[in-house]
Amino acid sequence: MSGTPRVLAETTSLCPDCLERIPGRYEVHEDGDDEHVELARECSDHGHASRRVWGSVDHWEWAHEMAGGVAPEPAPEEEFVVDNDHACLAVVEVTESCNLSCSFCFASSSPEGAHRPTEEVVDLLETVKQDGEPRPVQFSGGEPTVRDDLPELVELARDMDFTHIEVNTNGIRLGTEEGYAGRLADAGVTAIYLQFDGLSGEASEEIREVDIIEEKRRAVEACREAGLPVVLVPTVVPDVNDDEMADIVEFAMDNLDVVESINFQPVAQFGRYEEHGGRFSMDEAARTFADQMPGLGTRDFMPIPCCSATCQMASILVRDDDGEVSSLAQYVSPELYQQMSSMIGEEQWLEMMAGTDLGGDAVCSAVGCCGDDATPIPGVPDEILEMFGDVLAVSFTGFMDVDVGDAGKLSNCCVSVPTESGELVPFCAYNMTTDDGEYAIRNRNDWGGRDAVGAPTSFADRATEAAAADLPDPEADALDADPGETTHYLAEDDD
């Protein structure tokens, strides 16, 4: 190829230096004998930028065909918001404090952080409920389990009619405090979203700065005893733990009674991160994984239709009696996939990927394996219907950093963050940082979030004000008013 690059699509992009909206083009570029996709843009203040966003042009075009050939959404002129009826999941940050200081962290959290006042958490939950039914919520942070009142927050959400309540956690408290998993289950937690970067201590030390593999294993055992489903969530970093993806799947397959799915997250360069040499695109991560699993290919992971074709991909894996792992995607044509997708509601995709009962019912209804009342889709072989049961949902999520800043895709985001001003904003926009570490919208409208990585927030000031005003905050006299109580976790063999 020579001359002007072939343009695959045009969109409204974001400048990596100032995050202003500027025209962008998805272009075909050569890489030796191969072709990859770059997002090119031109800022009047910061000049030209072109960054690799997808490893294979062929895979890019296939993913968009599977998704129905949907072009990037035109970006609205107003500030980034997510419609309630399009929000598959709402991530509610209950603290900026954490008992780790990971090398990679969206929120750049640390033990010095503060907790969000409880009344604000309730307001955020009300924002999720407005203009629609309560959507699945995920309590996050920071590390939500450093709040002693987390079970009470879960009960508040349950009393507000939320039926799917996840906790996003590093698992340390689950694995070290007897009975804690049971407390969360009794409060109403329906799934644990467990940080799980691999099975080697080396990867844990590189990504989390401490070897906590045994704590992770004990957390899984604790969830098993409490009857809490687990979603394993590996942050995948090239040349650090990308060679452990197959091992993680084998671990999950060995623990299918408690592990219901895996969500691989190729590391994104936003928040606090260590430079790792460029974007690790989803198709490259899927190819690395498929190379470790004989019988799998990158096309076994199909785009999730409720966002964009290059934001999330998923598959259903099954292991036979000989230990061989295969994907049920081998039976699904683009036409069949689009037909099935049209029968699964947007709010059910997260449930399906998490392996919950609601998600299973949605899939069964779509493929016709739920009894006489179901309507089978023509072309689905009996083998598929017989395999549903001991299966593992495996997905990839490619969070949007400035390398792939696309305002059109953000307008179609299905993972949201509720804010103090009563809006749902796209998760990736909320966490996006410039090359210099400035957050895009974490403190828009003076919400109190960080302006930049490592900058202070106003959580602690607001918590102290709440305690002084004697507002109904069950933790105001404890953790909310004293953000310094969280201690950095060190494994037993650390100095």
Distances (CA, A) of 465 to 133, 152, 281, 360, 461: 32, 21, 44, 45, 6
Residue 187: its pLDDT value, please?
98
> What DSSP string describes 345-400?
-HHHHHHHHHT-HHHHHHHHHHHT-S-TTS-PPTT--HHHHHH-SS-EEEEEE---
Which candidate, 287, 237, 351, places its Cα nearest to that of 34? 287
Residue 452, SS3 per DSSP:
strand
Residue 431: its pLDDT value, please?
84
The 10s digit of each residue's pLDDT in 65-75 is 887 765 555 55
The band of 167, judged by pLDDT with boundaries at 50, 70 and 90, is: very high
Please give the average per-residue pLDDT across 203-226, as a whole number.
94
From 117-121, 248-252, 337-341, the region with the lowest mean pLDDT: 337-341
Residue 192: its pLDDT value, please?
97
Beta-carbon count within 10 A of 249 CB: 23
Q: Which residues contact 312 (CB under 8 A, 6 or more apart)?
A: 282, 303, 304, 353, 395, 396, 397, 398
Residue 435: its pLDDT value, please?
76
Q: Can you name the CATH fold of 89-445? A: TIM Barrel (3.20.20)
**Euclidean distance between CA atoms 122 and 61, whole angstroms:** 43
The band of 354, judged by pLDDT with boundaries at 50, 70 and 90, is: very low
Residue 118: its pLDDT value, please?
95
- When the pLDDT of each residue in the chain is averaged and rounded to a whole number, the result is 81
Please give the average per-residue pLDDT across 400-417, as a whole number.
85
- Examine the pLDDT at 211 and tell me if it is beyond 90: yes
Dihedral angle, C-alpha 269, 275, 278, 281, nearest 10 °: -50
Domain boundaries, given as residue ranges, for the chain? 89-445
Residue at 119: amino acid letter = E
Residue 219: its pLDDT value, please?
98
Residue 258: its pLDDT value, please?
97
Query: For residue 165, what are its two tokens?
Result: 């309540």
